[in-house]
Structure 1
């Protein structure tokens, strides 16, 4: 069976196939807005600076603790095959290292929102929480910070 217009066995042209393949390489979940709000990420930055930066670095680059953004963070997630729900569960039970589980639950969600923002996920209109975290696909990381992380 061949297409009458192209003579190829598939009816779509070369550019249509390239567009389909490109869309598979860059899933919409990482490009669409994540379920966290700009305000949540800004508050998460404050909590992060107070409770996390001493170990994970002022820019999430790592230090005594692992990096929480960029290629090193992506590698850690990939190695552990970690979902967003699993990452939140780990954070809320084991962090900060010197006082595990000591922050209010909202503070952990806000820090997670800040981490998403710093890894290039765009802010949405609703806060990240237990009901929405399952909608976050962590890998591949979108890339550069989304910008909303630093302004009120």
Structure 2
């Protein structure tokens, strides 16, 4: 009986390897075109911004159609985040972090809208629409004038009110000293 059980066990083991080795035909190797579709990040200096342009005027219309239902008619929030206001609150006990009070780079506004908005249809806006909504939001926050037109050349030049509000943390992210040789093994702690 033991030999038969051992034989069945061995057969099951061998068959399990062949089952795992099957190719199910799901997916495909990523092509250059596939990768390019995901290469949409925009750096603080504007690297990665697409061609196109957008105005505050056009942005107002697009915002009303695509954004106001979640962010309010003038960016006041509810149910989604507040986008306008908050100036002078960052040092308070209740800071209001909006585009105009907190965000350090205007290019980040474009990048976020381009990647993630509108919430129900991310990446559905054209570059022109994203430039326009970005211009409108910057206008609502008092960062740009009403006649502003933004593009890949002008957007990185927009100076945000909190540009210098971030301080890099120069502390090391670990306190351990790397051991190079003759390292002792620390004693185990009891739970």
Q: Normalised by the shorter chain, which TM-score bucket? A: 0.5 to 0.7
Quick one: distance in 1 between partners of 2:99 and 2:59?
Answer: 20
Matches within 5 A, 1:1-152: 40-71=55-86, 75-77=97-99, 82-123=104-145, 127-140=149-162
TM-score, with structure 1 as normaliser: 0.58
SS at match of 2:129: helix
CA distance in 1, matches of 2:148, 2:74: 25
Count of matched residue positions in the alignment of Structure 1 and Structure 2: 104
Deviations 1:84-129 (A, max 9, x none): 1122111111000000010111011111111111111342766201
- Partner residue in 1 for 2:30: none
Say if 1:58 and 1:84 are closer, same or farther in 2 by CA, change over 3 A: same
User: Residue 79 of structure 1: CA displacement?
Assistant: 8.9
Three-state SS of the structure 2 residue aligned to 1:128 is: strand
| Pair 1:129–1:98, CA change in 2 (3 A) | same
Question: Which has the larger helix fraction?
Answer: 1
Q: Find the structure with the greater CA-based Rg.
A: 2
Asked if the contact 2:100–2:141 (Cα under 8 Å) also holds between the matched residues in 1, the reply is: no
Q: Which stretch shows the higher mean deviation, 96-105 or 70-79?
A: 70-79
Structure 2: runs of 5+ lacking an equivalent: 1-52, 88-94, 164-191
Structure showing greater relative contact order (alpha-carbon pairs closer than 8 Å, 6 or more residues apart): 1
User: Which consecutive segments of 4 or more residues in structure 1 shift more than 6 A?
Assistant: none
Aligned mates of 2:102, 2:145 — CA distance in 1: 25
